[in-house]
Amino acid sequence: MKRSLDLMFYLLDCVLVLLLGAMTVMVFVNVVLRYGFGNGLDISDEMSRFCFVWLIFLGSISAMRRNMHMGFDLVVTSVGPSARRVLLTVANGLILAVCLLILTGTIMQWHVNATNIAPVTRMPMIWVFGVAVPMSLAIGIMAGLRMVGYATGRLSDAPDHVDPEMHQ
């Protein structure tokens, strides 16, 4: 199971690299065309924006797995291990709740985005905003598992940058 999850996240990272590469190439080519030849590609602007949206949403899954999201951990690092577990349980519960809100909101707006058409590519906008579904599911599952792990004591979070003797 771990190998298949590692492979899935490796493939996700490859998709992120491809999205970033596609954005870079599209924007670079468009800049060269605009400044060098006085004409650009309209599709380049739109597709680079779509890639950026996908990059952000899919990148947040990868960041969640690596626990690399920005956070304010002053309170969490200044309390003892049992209070830290409670705070981390609550924090992951809140993340799960937000993911459920994003998922239900995306599903409620599905029809609107499926019938709204992008101006240049003529793609239904659900291809852009639909990425919120896998993002909310993946991050929600990870947050839910972490929440249960912290609540049951199977997970503990002892940050490397905190002196363990400070909490005794």
33/52 same-domain check: yes
| Contact between 96 and 144 (Cβ < 8 Å) | yes
Tell me: the pLDDT tens digits for 65-99?
Answer: 998 888 788 888 888 988 999 999 999 999 999 99
* Structural domain contains residue 61: yes
- Inform me whether the pLDDT recorded for 135 exceeds 80: yes
The domain total for the chain is 2
Alpha helices in the chain (DSSP H): 2-37, 42-65, 74-77, 81-108, 110-115, 126-129, 132-152
22/78 same-domain check: no
125/142 same-domain check: yes
What share of the chain has pLDDT > 70, as a percent? 93
Structural domain boundaries enclosing 96: 71-156
Residues in the chain: 168
* Structural domain contains residue 162: no
For residue 59, give the nearest of 13, 96, 103 by alpha carbon.
13
Quote the pLDDT of residue 165.
43
Rounded Cα–Cα distance for residues 16 and 18 (Å): 5
136/126 same-domain check: yes
Rounded Cα–Cα distance for residues 163 and 103 (Å): 39
Rounded Cα–Cα distance for residues 126 and 109 (Å): 9
Q: pLDDT category, 106, cuts 50, 70, 90? A: very high
Q: How many other CB atoms are found less than 10 A from the CB of residue 92?
A: 21
56/3 same-domain check: yes
Average pLDDT over residues 115-137: 93
63/75 same-domain check: no
* Structural domain contains residue 109: yes
| Contact between 64 and 138 (Cβ < 8 Å) | yes
54/82 same-domain check: no
Rounded to the nearest integer, the mean pLDDT of the chain is 89
Tell me: the pLDDT tens digits for 11-61?
Answer: 999 999 999 999 999 999 999 999 999 888 889 989 999 999 999 999 999
Which own/partner contact pairs does 124-129 have at CB distance under 8 Å and 24+ positions apart? 127/50, 128/50, 128/53, 128/54, 129/53
Pick the last residue of a domain from 69, 84, 107. Answer: 69
Encoded amino acid at 73, one letter: D
